[in-house]
Amino acid sequence: MVAWSVFEASDPAMADAGRRLFHRTGTGEALLATVRDDAPPRIHPINLAIVDGRLVAFLLPSQKLTDVRRDGRYALHAHQDPVVPDEFSVRGRATILDDPAERAAAAAVWSFEIDATYTLVEFSIDHAILGRRGADEWPPRYTSWKPAGA
């Protein structure tokens, strides 16, 4: 699993498309799927950003944060627009970032005010998928990316 910057250096076109799809509404938004060994995945809307080459989010105390702490496996899917129904998703492992400098750098560019109740999480990437199609096209044309050696 790698940071966003490694993905971006390896496949700049896919990373650019993914960034645009995550920021389709003007702020970074996605659906976060977290997993648990004993139950189905949970799906949560979140805000996210790419800060210093890392895909990150601030999470409040919640079941999604509990799932990240317990297991870490995740999938993120950009919201879809019916007019331009391209899709982008990444999956991998999420980790808590405790470094005050990393937290301050992320909070400085965040789209809303962050306080001490938020936990900063990084999403390392193991697999990315981009689906392209026009409004009347089916099926999508998918491309896939994995880190070298994976």
**Which tens digits make up the pLDDT trace of 18-70?**
999 999 888 899 999 998 877 888 999 999 999 999 999 999 999 999 999 99
79 φ/ψ sector (left φ>0, alpha ψ -120 to 50, else beta)? beta
Please give the average per-residue pLDDT across 86-113, as a whole number.
96
Given phi > 0 = left and psi -120 to 50 = alpha, else beta, which region is 72? left
Whole-number pLDDT of residue 53: 97
Q: Which of 71 and 25 is assigned the larger pLDDT?
A: 71
Largest alpha-carbon pair distance within the chain? 47
For 122-148, what is the mean pLDDT? 92
Report pLDDT for 8. Answer: 98
pLDDT score for 15: 98
Domain residue ranges in the chain? 4-144
CA-to-CA separations, 81 to 3, 78, 125, 134, in angstroms, rounded: 27, 9, 24, 11
pLDDT for res 149: 83
User: Would you say 89 and 128 are in contact if contact means Cβ atoms under 8 Å apart?
Assistant: yes
* Mean pLDDT value across the chain: 93
What's the pTM? 0.93
For 4-144, which CATH superfamily applies? Electron Transport, Fmn-binding Protein; Chain A (2.30.110.10)
Confidence band for 79, pLDDT divided at 50, 70 and 90: confident
